[in-house]
Structure 1
Amino acid sequence: MYSREQATQIRKSFWTTFGQYMRPIPSADGLKVNWINYKTGFKGLNFSLDVDKEKAYIGIVLNQKDPDLRSLFYEQLLELKGLLHTHMGEEWSWEEVATNAQYQEISQVYTLLPGVSLFHQEDWPAIISFFKTRLIALDEFWSMGKFHFEPLKF
């Protein structure tokens, strides 16, 4: 078991390593991008990365407080389901109603890499590879798909 400080340091070390690994990779549009804090340009629509002691997670999270607005974003995303899966090269899980760690209602589209742990440094290459390929594909998808959401921008 790790102390809180040790766990925090391990998390920081992993995300720093991942950020350095991704830094030289340009976006699909050829621009410099902060891969860890990816900006979609839409409030409440985020790309989320997480890893814990059991799995790695990458997803598109819709966390608008207004459930009707969140539903509209989800419907727009559903219309792009085929495009998303084509870019990802795999099918992702879709949840119109889910709960985040703060017990807030969200919608999410995601995939998991089970059986890896942030706390086992020997798992880091598999986790980084899992995130890298999917984040680059997600960026390529978003480069084309973001225009579908323009009517919802305010």
Structure 2
Amino acid sequence: MFSKEEALQIKKDFWIAFAEEYPKKWLLYNTKIKDVTFKFYVDNKKAQVLLDIEPKDEEKRKIYYEKVESLKNILLEDYVEDAIFERNFYLENGKIISRVWVEITGISINNKNTWNTIFDFFNEKMSAFELFFYENEDYIKDLEINT
């Protein structure tokens, strides 16, 4: 087990190593849609690439999710074949968001031997998610176009 300080240092080292391995500017929070973001997540069991749809306005969350969901076949066939869709995803704090994500298991941020696997997974899946988003962003952003 690691102390709090050691765990923080491992996380810091992990993200620095990832940035050095894949030095690119990721889309992440810059979707230009408020509360629609891409995220990387890793812990001692899994790594995930996430598309979180979490506007406070429930109707907007529903619309954005349904727009992405209407593109599900395209996403699965052409970009991220193992993406998981969840309209109502419950965060630990009880908040309900919509989420589309992909994950790998059997890795750990605490095991440097799995870092390259995680880095490659992050790069492959986030690049594919971003390409999907860029190619469909006009449709996803426009709340006037119904699904």
Q: TM-score, normalised by structure 1?
A: 0.86
Name the amino acid aligned to 2:11: R
Could you tell me how far apart the structure 2 residues matched to 1:150 and 1:132 are? 24
Shift of 1:111: 1.1
Could you tell me how far apart the structure 1 residues matched to 2:102 and 2:21 are? 21
Instruction: Give per-residue Cα distances to partners, 1:29-63, cap 9 Å, x unaligned.
Output: xxxxx227452111111111100010001121111
Aligned to 1:14: 14
Could you tell me how far apart the structure 1 residues matched to 2:27 and 2:141 are? 23
Aligned to 1:120: 111
The answer on 1:143 being equivalent to 2:139 is: no
Q: How many pairs were matched up? A: 144
Relative to structure 1, is the Cα distance of residues 47 and 104 closer, same or farther in structure 2, using a 3 angstrom cutoff? same
RMSD: 1.7
Name the amino acid aligned to 2:18: F
Aligned to 2:94: 103
Identity %: 28
Name the amino acid aligned to 2:73: G
Unaligned segments of structure 1, at least 5 residues: 26-33
Aligned to 1:64: 55
Deviant stretches of 4+, over 6 Å:
none
Q: How does 1:51-90 map to 2 (within 5 A)?
A: 51-90=42-81
Aligned to 1:30: none
Task: Choose from 46, 49, 57 the match for 2:37.
Answer: 46
Unaligned segments of structure 2, at least 5 residues: none
Shift of 1:123: 0.4
1:17 is paired with a residue of what secondary structure? helix
Q: TM-score, normalised by structure 2?
A: 0.90
2:56 is paired with a residue of what secondary structure? coil
**Greater Cα offset, 90-99 or 144-153:** 144-153
